[in-house]
Amino acid sequence: MNAPDLRLELVNSLTVDVEDYFQVSAFDRHVDRHHWDAMECRVERNVERLLAMFERRGARATFFTLGWMAHRYPAMVRTIVQAGHEVASHGSAHRRASEQSRPEFREDVDSARKKLEDVSGTAVRGYRAPSFSIGHGNLWAFDCLAEAGYAYSSSIYPVRHDHYGMPDAPRFAHRLHNGLLELPITTTRLMSRNLPAGGGGFFRLLPYRASKWAIERVNRVDRQPAIFYFHPWEIDPHQPRIRGVSAKTRFRHYLNLDRTEARLDRLLSDFRWDRIDRVFEIGAA
Ligand SMILES: [Zn+2]
C-alpha cells in the first residue's frame, strides 16, 4: 500500500480574481465601462459561496480584487479579510497593462492599491495584471509595480494562448532585477511544451483528473507549489448572458459553469491551499 507521505505534500497557492461576469477582457467590446454601474452584479453572492466553501475545506486564498470592487462593495472586501484571506490588487478597472501608457499604468496600480488598503485596512503586497497582460512589449510594467510599492506580481502565464501568455518565461517563482517577485501561474511541461495547469478555461474544459494529475506532477516532480486561479463568475451558471459575442468567446466563457463549483470543491479537498503571502513568505513592508 502506498499511503501518501504527508511530509512531502506542499502547500499550494489558491487565488481568486475578483471581477464580475461582465468585466472580463473577452467582453471589452460588448460592455462599455461606463455601463458597469448599471449592470446586474452577482459578485457578492458568488464570493460568499466561495468563502463558505474555503471555510469548509480549511483553505485560505489570495483575492486579486479590482479597485472598482473596493469602491462599490467595501463590505465584501472587509468580509474577505475577516475570513482570514489576503487581499491583493487586480488593477483599478480591469484595463490590460498592454493597452496603457506607462504613466497611465502607474496611476492605475497606484490608485487600486491605495483604495484596497483604505477599504481592507491591510497592506496590499501583490498585483495580478488583467488577462496576464505583461509581456515582452511592456516589461516596464514591473518597474511601475516596484515603484508603487508592490512586493510581488502574479501576472505571467508561461503558455501559448491567443490572448495572453509568455511561453518562454520562467515557470516558477523568480526575482526580477528590481526586487519584485514574479509568481507565474502554474504550468506542467510535456514534450517540450508548457501546458496550462493553474486554472482558466482549461479547468472547465478538461475532466478534473487532468488538473489533478498536473498539479500532483508539479508538486512531486518539480517540487514546487502550484499557483491556481479562477473567478467568482465561474461558479455561477445563471449569470445573465452577454449578447453579440462570438461563438468562440461564448464557448470559452460559458462552458461547464454548472460543474465548476463541484470541481473546485474536489480541488480543495485533494490538495492543501493557502494565501500567496504565506506560501511564498512575503514579508511585511
Ligand atoms: Zn481579470
Model confidence at 285, pLDDT cuts 50, 70, 90, reads low
**What's the rounded mean pLDDT across residues 258-282?**
95
Pull the grid cell for residue 151: 512586493
Burial class from Cβ neighbours inside 10 Å (0-12, 13-18, 19+) for residue 15 reads: buried
What is the 5 CA–ligand 1 centroid distance (Å)? 36
Looking at per-residue pLDDT, the higher value among 210 and 31 belongs to 210
**What's the rounded mean pLDDT across residues 136-149?**
96
> Could you identify the residue written with the cell 513568505?
281
Pairing of strands 174-175, 126-127: unpaired
What is the 199 CA–ligand 1 centroid distance (Å)? 12
Can you tell me the distance from the alpha carbon of 120 to that of 117, in angstroms, rounded to the nearest whole number? 5
Pull the grid cell for residue 60: 485560505
**What's the rounded mean pLDDT across residues 212-237?**
95
Average pLDDT, the chain: 92
Residues 6 or more apart from 205 whose CB is under 8 A from it? 255, 256
- C-beta contacts of 120-124 below 8 A and 24+ residues apart: 120/70, 120/77, 120/78, 120/80, 120/81, 120/87, 121/78, 121/81, 122/81, 122/86, 122/87, 123/284, 123/285, 124/87, 124/88, 124/89, 124/150
The per-residue pLDDT for 9 is: 79
Amino acid at 118: D
Pull the grid cell for residue 16: 481568486
What is the 126 CA–ligand 1 centroid distance (Å)? 14
What is the 16 CA–ligand 1 centroid distance (Å)? 9
The per-residue pLDDT for 242 is: 82
Instruction: Give the environment of ion ligand 1: residues with CB less than 5 A.
Output: 17, 19, 130
Can you tell me the distance from the alpha carbon of 107 to that of 53, in angstroms, rounded to the nearest whole number? 35
What is the 3 CA–ligand 1 centroid distance (Å)? 38
Looking at per-residue pLDDT, the higher value among 239 and 93 belongs to 93
What is the 131 CA–ligand 1 centroid distance (Å)? 6
What is the 231 CA–ligand 1 centroid distance (Å)? 8
Among 186, 271, 230, CA closest to 10: 271
Residues 6 or more apart from 284 whose CB is under 8 A from it? 123
Q: Which residues are 14's β-sheet partners?
A: 228
What is the 64 CA–ligand 1 centroid distance (Å)? 8
User: CA quadruple 179, 180, 183, 189: dihedral positive or negative?
Assistant: negative
Can you tell me the distance from the alpha carbon of 147 to that of 157, in angstroms, rounded to the nearest whole number? 23
The per-residue pLDDT for 131 is: 93
Pairing of strands 174-175, 187-190: unpaired
Model confidence at 4, pLDDT cuts 50, 70, 90, reads low
Residues 6 or more apart from 190 whose CB is under 8 A from it? none
Query: Out of 133-147, 213-227, 249-263, which region has the weakest mean confidence (pLDDT)?
Result: 249-263
**What's the rounded mean pLDDT across residues 221-245?**
92
